[in-house]
Amino acid sequence: MRAFRYSLRGLGFALLVAIVVYLPFRLSDFRASEFALIGIYFIAILGLNVLTGYAGVISLGHGAFMALGAYTTAILVADHGMRDLWTIPLAGLLAAAAGAAFGLPALRLSGPYLALATFGVAVATPIVIKKFDGLTGGSGGINLFEAEGITGLPEFLVTLPGGKVLSFNDWLYYLTWTIALVLFAVAWAIHHSRFGRSLRAIRDNEIAAAASGVWLASHKTLAFSISAFYAGVAGSLLAISAFSVQPGAFPVDRSIALLVGLAVGGLGSLAPLAAGAAFLVFLPQWAQDISKAPGVPAVIYGAVLIALMIVLPMGVGGLLRWITRPLTSRLYPRS
């Protein structure tokens, strides 16, 4: 039964990979850049899910870790001539270290206090970036258009088998989604590991988890650090795909958007989080298409978000679980 279950999951993952590989063959160049952005949000939301979905800690500050990742990449590429691809893991690791440094003291705080403390970090981020303009280029940010370290489109990838000519946006798409799929697999492994179970125990009942031998401080800090790693990688990809970083790209809204994407995708889900990422990219555009009058797109966005939360309080993931329950409950007997 267990082997069957895992092979089913493997099949699902293979299907996901196939869709990701095939999609650019059907998409216009512009759409490919949008889907690359979805991939970036997907990574950040997957990370936030480790913290909020498993450990039950709401963070409103993950835009700050994205900013840290983006600026790490931009500074290493622009000032130190590093290849952009190598900066991606570094950006993640630096963000993870910052996450641990912030998380270790801050996780003493309970739910809403921690949420508002992280919110404070998100609010302060653009201001602090502007203040240290020697390093960050102030409000103008850092431009990467002329930088040597930008890889651009690798030669061997220009034409894919089947005659598909790869554009730069297709390359960005493949880059972000390759990383997204790897990190997705990691998130899946976390979900099914002893560590993931301990985190969920903390979420469900902190005191009971501690009584059962879960070391709260280390688990929560590690969860915070992992989620910051994901955000750092996402930020780094954002810098690479935009060829630039500015403090204005990391307002509070960005941190809030990640949380919205997580809620729409479904807290504690994995693959459905991509739907949350797609929501963040497409809904504002769709609202703009309906009317460009001042305020109207925001009214549509807000109203759709509220309606969605009322209809699907557990997000898209909750809906999928509800639909497939009659099937899966027979496949996976509850112990």
Partner 1 sequence: MADVLQQVVSGIASGGVYALLALALVLIYRSTGVVNFAQGEMAMFSTFVCWELLDRGLPYWVAFFLTLAISFVGGVLIERLVIHTVSRSQALTVVTVTIGLLILLNGAAAWIWKGEQRTLENPFPSDTFDVGGVVIAAQDIGIIGVSLAIVVVLWAFLQRTRVGLALRAAALNPESSRLHGVRVSWMLALGWGLAAVLGAVAGILVAPTQGSFDQNLMLPVLIFAFAAAVLGGLDSPIGAVVGGVVLGVVLNLVGAYIDFFADLRLPAALLLILGILLLRPNGLFGRSVVRRV
Nearer to partner 1, 3 or 293 (CB): 293
The encoded tokens of residue 58 equal 């709401």
Q: Binding of partner 1 at residue 55 (CB under 8 A)? A: no
Interface region with partner 1, contact rule CB under 8 A, candidates 80-88, 173-181, 192-200, 252-260: 252-260
CB contact burial 252-276 (16+ within 10 A = b; e otherwise): bebbebbbbbbbbbbbbbbbbbbbb
Asked whether position 296 contacts partner 1 by CB under 8 A, the answer is: yes
Binding window for partner 1 (CB under 8 A); candidates: 8-16, 26-34, 76-84, 257-265 = 257-265
Extended beta strands in 161-256, E state: 244-245
Q: Which residue among 37, 94, 267, 277 contacts partner 1 (CB under 8 A)?
A: 267
Over the window 179 to 218, marking each residue x when it contacts partner 1 by CB under 8 A and - when it does not, the resulting string is --------------------------x-xx--x-------
Decide whether 95 or 106 has the Cβ nearer to partner 1: 106
Calpha distance 102→104 (Å, rounded): 6
Q: Are the C-beta atoms of 289 and 237 separated by less than 8 Å?
A: no
User: Interaction with partner 1 in 122-151: which residues (CB under 8 A)?
Assistant: 123-124, 127-128, 131
The one segment of 7-15, 90-98, 112-120, 157-165 that binds partner 1 by CB under 8 A = 112-120
Beta bridge mates, 244: 143
Phi, psi (5° rounding) for residue 57? -100, 120
User: Who contacts 315 (Cβ-Cβ below 8 Å, separation ≥6)?
Assistant: 262, 263, 264, 265, 266, 267, 269, 272, 275, 276
Nearest to 95 by CA among 243, 239, 198, 197: 239
Among 23, 34, 101, 119, contact with partner 1 (rule: CB under 8 A): 119
Q: Which of 86, 100, 120, 320 binds partner 1 (CB under 8 A)?
A: 120
270 binds partner 1 (CB under 8 A): no
Contacting partner 1 within 11-30 (CB under 8 A): none
Q: Is 154 in the site for partner 1 (CB under 8 A)?
A: no
In angstroms, give the least distance from the CB of 80 to partner 1: 27
Q: Cα separation of 40 and 282, whole Å?
A: 14
Does residue 273 belong to the site contacting partner 1 (CB under 8 A)?
A: no
| Residue 7 buriedness (CB in 10 A; 0-12 / 13-18 / 19+) | exposed
Does 112 bind partner 1 (CB under 8 A)? Our answer is yes
